[in-house]
Structure 1
Amino acid sequence: MKKLSICFLILFSALRSQHYQVDFPPEEFKARWEGVFEQIGDEAVAVVQGFPLSNGFIMPRQTNAFYYLSGIETPHAYILLDGRNKKVTLYMPPRNERLERSEGRILNADDEKLIKKLVGVDAVYSTDLMRQDFPPDLDRGTVIYTMFTPAEGQGQSRYELEVANASIAADPWDSRISREGRLVQLLRTRNRRNEVKDLTPIIDRLRSVKSLNEIALIRRASQLAGLGMIEAIKSTEPGAWEYQLDGVTRYVYLINGARLEAYRSITASGTKNISNGHYYRNDSQLKSGDMVLMDYAPDFRYYVSDIGRMWPVNGTYEPWQRELLQIILEYRNVVLEIIRPGISTEQVLEEARQRMKPIMKRYKFSKKIYKKAAEKMVQTGGGVLSHPVGLAVHDDGSYRHELLIAGHVFSVDPQMWVPEENLYLRYEDTIVVTVDGNENFTDFLPSELDELEKLVRAKGILQSFPKDSMKWNY
């Protein structure tokens, strides 16, 4: 046992020194490759492109699909999965001594033996070989699969990337195609005898069910999201600024090993800011009588979470705030009790409708428009069964069109709109379907209104370390 422990420590140290991930063993990547091989068949190959060299002094982060298949974080790398012989090859860039002098050692084509051991691939070649025929040794009938969709990086999800790409394409003085589009174009023009197909649905399907290792990382990202939000709630007071709550939360992420954000912070105070679903400016001052909506989570070793809470700036909910948030909380709790493997999302919603009937019947609404908004939430779901969560906050893959199974991870996000008063309210948690129900990763984060009020009244980081009072000219 002692010998094994020493070997593990040596390997762990080697992995860290080479900046290679320690969360997934080669066997897990091999299982993912097998999933690809099963779908592309025996007469096809799959090519996935990694991220390019960062074009500024920003933290490099591999694209999600490439990381999912290799764990490699070296820029300008490619992975080839050959369905004909079931072999997997990594193409790595040659060693860049100038870059290493500036930024440190990274895995490259010279590290063939080490990479084969770390990742489990069959071969490692230099990307210089890709200047010749690529993919190599193609017959006329061999199909080439690659990702047609935008590659997700830090803080990015597919839909937002597609919107951005469409905006670029519509710009008459730009109109350039995406990097992924260029790869598809080159594969077609350089392999005119071969059909090029989209690998996206296959990767999405694999990513839709998380492994135990993936779930552990999402759980940790969720824990940090909750801990950070608790500190933001405790730091809330009239006169503070939205960005200060953002900063408190980010501090918790950083000191616990999450160096990147899953997405930019939504820290909105007041009805107007909250009504913008993806508000990001975070530059308003908190006012007594208003609420804060925070929706924020970290990127922890490539995996993320998605959570949200609303709380009163002065520590006490106004009656109408409590009235509306409490019915959302009731609905959210009912849905969490229902989610389990073997049922469809529509079954979840219908069962929730039935369970909410007696609750709605006895609930006292102060206004007809509030009752109408609550009824609409219960009838439609109000977005309660939201998007998948994983490598991206709006993760790829789907769970809505099939029966729920263990390993589905998604956001539970009941929302209510009262358009007559421009009100928008919500709760959000990330959960995983388990073999006998579900696990709410942020169950420890207060959701009951009395508990949230108590947190606001507690002393937070912002009060312990107030902002600098030095005068400056502006």
Structure 2
Amino acid sequence: MSLPFNREEYLSRQELVFSKLPKSSLAIIPTNDRKIRSNDVAYPFRANSYMLYLCGWEEDEGTLLATNSSGKWVTTLFVPERDTTKEIWEGVRIGVDGAKSWPVDHTDTLQSLDSSIKDLISDVSRIFTIPGASSSLDILIDGNTETEDLRTYIDPIRRIKSANEIEYMQEAASIASSAHEKAMRNSRPGIGEWEIQSEVEGHFMSSLSQWSFPSIVGGGDNATVLHYKNNNQVIKSGDLVLVDAGCEVSGYASDITRTWPVNGKFSQPQREIYELVLRAELAGIEACQPGMPWVSMHEAVCEIIAEGLIELGVLKCTTEEALGRVEGKPGVFEGQIRNFFMHGTGHFLGLDVHDVGGGRQGDPNSSFLLEPGMVLTIEPGLYFGSWRNDILIPERYAGIGIRIEDDVLVTEQGPLVLSSSCPKMVDEIEQVVGKGIHD
């Protein structure tokens, strides 16, 4: 198994994190617990992102310990010993000796982890760990001493991507862009949502990638359900399909949403809503400038949507009434637009698809400024579910759900769209949809 980054990059990350901790402290970074589906069938394992970030350990079972010895932080990676009987069933493990090539000072057996922690606890004043990552670790240290959240120190560092991280994120965005376009090309009236899902995820697999979150494929009214997950309905001619899907490369995620008509032609009402969402998305991307507040992109998007819904006659009020700004909470809107655009504009992207370091609009954590190296999504949407019984849905737009999402890197020169190769202009989409069927 090769590591995605060189040893020096991992050691640099460790130095940035551990140097912020008090010297008389212990840092414990476990990987995720293995989750059992039933009996001896496990869910696919994915390593804890903090473990991946600090030392690149991908196998299930493993814990990284960092202690300060004589003014120098020393790391030890605890991993399972080789077990031939287990390896016959599950494959060869790296083992303690193999782990010595990882970017750590020492390696030891996982069996000795408990005693090592118990010995160290009495010599430190503070313990830092990742809450909830390992239930067995939580039980071990619970009650012995108060623990503190190590994420507070790691998240601001993870928020800024290195050049090497950005390369993986560009690759993930390019693969996902191609997958979306392939699905567009093979769309047709009568196609199943599951068939589109298989096109997208099959492309991920053929590109030696995997999905970064379960794909959302919603046709017609299903597109108005934000986290629709059934993906089991047939999409009829005249309906739109919303596809929210991304993949990961070396642990780094992409997250792209496109919406298109399965018959290859937007109706006039569909086009009106699509072009409004597109204008809002482009405004949100343009707001991704270094030095701008995190909430700027959401404010830009909401203003466009409010004005557009008034112009289309969906809302009959002033722009400010449509927005419903909340005093003292920048980026928080509680006006009438929330009937149709009820989620945030974006989130950070990285080792997690909803990556660390961000805060919801209005939270104290959302007051920071954008910096070069941050990667985020811009994903406005409008949803007119005909099934809604809490509000009056305009008949002209009933059953329309549209979201457009791109992955954006903040640079010194402004926003760089990593997913720019994925069609999203109306003319581009109409030229692509269904063309694969006739190729």
> Which bin holds the TM-score, normalised by the shorter protein?
0.7 to 0.9
1:34 to 7, 12, 15: 15
| Gap change, CA 1:50 and 1:348, over 3 Å in 2 | closer
Residue 159 of structure 1: aligned partner: none
Preserved contact between residue 240 and residue 259 of structure 2 (Cα < 8 Å): yes
Q: What code does the residue aligned with 1:442 have? A: S
Whole-angstrom distance in 2 between the partners of 1:456 and 1:287: 14
| Equivalence for 1:123 | 106
Instruction: Tell me whether 1:447 sits opposite 2:424 in the alignment.
Output: yes
Cα–Cα, structure 1 residues 326 and 255, in superposed 2: closer, same or farther, change >3 Å? same
Structure 2 match to 1:393: 353
Alignment of 1:304-343 (within 5 A): 304-343=253-292
- CA offset digits 1:304-361 (Å, max 9, x no partner): 111111111211111011011101111211222232111113444556778x59x959
Change in Cα spacing, 1:54 to 1:459, as seen in structure 2 (3 Å) is same
Q: Distance in 2 between matches of 1:281 and 1:187?
A: 40
Alignment of 1:113-262 (within 5 A): 115-116=99-100, 118-134=101-117, 136-139=119-122, 141-148=124-131, 150-151=132-133, 179-180=134-135, 182-189=136-143, 192=144, 194-258=145-209, 260-262=210-212
Contact 2:33 2:61 in 1 (8 A): yes
Q: Residue in 2 aligned with 1:6?
A: none
Deviation at 1:64, TM superposition (A): 1.4
The alpha-carbon distance between structure 1 residues 377 and 253, as it changes in their structure 2 partners (threshold 3 A), is: farther
Q: How far is the alpha carbon of 1:95 from its aligned partner?
A: 0.9
Is the 1:25–1:119 Cα contact (8 Å) retained in structure 2? no
Partner of 1:391, secondary structure, is: coil
Return the alpha-carbon distance in structure 2 between the equivalents of residues 349 and 396 of structure 1. Answer: 18
Q: Which residue of 2 aligns with 1:169?
A: none
Equivalent residue, structure 2, for 1:20: 2
Alignment-derived partner of residue 53 in structure 2: 68
For 1:202 and 1:417, the matched residues in 2 are separated by 38
Aligned to 1:77: 62
Q: What is the aligned residue count?
A: 402
CA–CA separation in structure 2 for the residues paired with 1:30 and 1:455: 46
Tell whether the 8 Å contact from 1:93 to 1:108 is kept in structure 2 after alignment: yes
Of 47, 59, 63, the residue aligned with 2:28 is 47
- Quote how far apart the aligned CAs of 1:239 are: 1.2
Q: Structure 1 residues 300 and 325 mapped into 2: Cα distance closer, same or farther (>3 Å)?
A: same
User: Is the Cα contact below 8 Å between 1:324 and 1:370 reproduced in 2?
Assistant: no
1:301: how far off?
2.0
Per-residue CA distance 1:78-118 (angstroms, 9 max, x = gap): 1001134311111111111112223332211133xxx33x3
Distance, in Å, in 1 between the alignment partners of 2:7 and 2:85 is 30
Kept in 2, the 8 Å contact 1:385–1:410? The answer is: no
Question: Structure 1 residue 268 and structure 2 residue 214: aligned?
Answer: no
Unaligned runs of 5+ in 1: 1-18, 152-178, 465-474
Q: Which amino acid aligns with 1:99?
A: K
One-letter identity of the residue aligned with 1:68 = Y
Are 1:373 and 1:417, in contact at CA under 8 Å, matched by a contact in 2? no
Whether 1:411 and 2:411 are equivalent positions in the alignment is: no
Residues 376 and 243 of structure 1: CA distance in aligned 2, closer, same or farther (over 3 Å): farther
Q: Matches of 2:130 and 2:177 in 1, distance apart? A: 34
Larger relative contact order (C-alpha < 8 A, sep ≥ 6)? 2
Which residue of the partner structure matches residue 171 of structure 1?
Answer: none
Deviation for aligned residue 1:133: 4.0
Conservation of the 8 A alpha-carbon contact between 1:338 and 1:352: no
* 2:273 counterpart letter in structure 1: L
Say whether the 8 Å CA contact 1:238–1:314 is kept in structure 2. yes
Q: CA RMSD in A?
A: 2.9
Q: State the Cα distance separating 1:442 from its structure 2 match.
A: 0.9
Distance 1:53 1:346 in 2: 37
SS at match of 2:371: coil
2:422 aligned with 1:437: no
TM-score w.r.t. length of structure 2:
0.83
| Residues 78/220 of structure 1: CA separation in 2 closer, same or farther (3 Å cut) | same
Distance 1:269 1:372, change over 3 A: farther
Partners of 2:418 and 2:354 in 1: how far apart? 17
Given the two structures, how large is their TM-score scaled by the length of structure 1?
0.77
Deviation larger for 373-382 or 240-249: 373-382
Indicate the residue corresponding to 1:12 in structure 2. Answer: none
Contact 1:413 1:427 in 2 (8 A): yes
User: Hey, what's the Cα distance between the residues in 1 that align with 2:300 and 2:42?
Assistant: 51
- What secondary structure, in the 3-state scheme, does the structure 2 residue paired with 1:367 have? coil
Matching of residue 91 in structure 1 with residue 72 in structure 2 = no
Q: Distance in 2 between matches of 1:60 and 1:409?
A: 25
More helix as a share of residues: 1
Letter in 1 for 2:91: G
Q: Distance in 1 between matches of 2:317 and 2:253?
A: 35
Contact 2:310–2:316, Cα closer than 8 Å, also in 1: no
Aligned to 2:329: none
Amino acid across the alignment from 2:357: G
Distance 1:214 1:370 in 2: 46
Structure 2 spans left out of the alignment, 5+ residues:
326-332, 360-365, 385-390
Name the SS for the 1:420 alignment partner. coil
What displacement does 1:416 show?
2.2
